[in-house]
Amino acid sequence: MNSILAGEASAKFSLLLGDLGVFDCRISQLPTTKLVVDYFRWRNEDTNRNAFNAHCYWSLRKQGKTPKQVDSILSGLSIADKNEILFKQGINYNDIPNWQKRGVGLYWKPYSKQVINQKTGEETTAIRNKIKIDYDLPMKDEYSQFIVL
C-alpha cells in the first residue's frame, strides 16, 4: 500500500507540474493517543520549520547565490536573522498563507444524508464520511487538541 500511494501521488504531481515530483508514504502504528498527538505535533512543527528554511533558501537562490553559498550564509543563523533575510526580499513570513507554512490537513468528516432504506423503502438518515481539506491548521497546543478530535 505504501509504494502504491507514494507512486500515485508522485506520478500525478509530476504530470501536473511538468517536472519530477517524488513523494514518500509511511504507515505508523501508534498504540496510544499521546503517541499519536506527539507524532503529529512533531510533524506539524517540523513542517513549519522546513517551510521557513526553504523560503530563506530560495529567496537567496533567486538572488543568484549558489547552493553552497546559501548553505554557508544560513548556517548558524537565528530565526530573527533569517526573518531579516526574507524581509529584505519583501517577504513577511507571517503573511505567507498558513497552508504553505504548516501543510494541508486531509481527514474524514462525518455528515448526515437522507437516504432510502433499500429493504424497507423508508426514508432515513445515514451518516457518511467525506474528505475534509483544511488549509488553516492550528498550531502548538491548539494543534494537539485538534488531533484528538
Q: What confidence tens digit (pLDDT) does each residue in 47-68 have?
A: 999 999 999 999 999 999 999 9
Structural domains in the chain (count):
2
Q: Residue 90 CB: number of other CB atoms within 10 A?
A: 7
Q: Is 121 inside a domain boundary? A: no
Q: Which domain holds residue 98?
A: 31-103+138-148
8-36 burial string, b = 16+ CB within 10 Å, else e?
Answer: eebeeeeeeeeeeeeeeeeeeeeeeeeee
Tens-digit pLDDT profile for residues 114-144: 999 999 999 999 999 999 999 999 988 999 9
- The reply to whether 21 and 70 lie within a common domain is no
CA-based nearest residue to 23, from 6, 44, 45: 6
- For residue 55 the three cell numbers come to 523560503
- The reply to whether 67 and 24 lie within a common domain is no
- The reply to whether 24 and 40 lie within a common domain is no
How high is the mean pLDDT of the chain?
Answer: 93
- The reply to whether 42 and 25 lie within a common domain is no
- Could you tell me the pTM of the whole model? 0.73
What per-residue confidence (pLDDT) applies to 149? Answer: 76
- The reply to whether 37 and 91 lie within a common domain is yes
- The reply to whether 93 and 49 lie within a common domain is yes
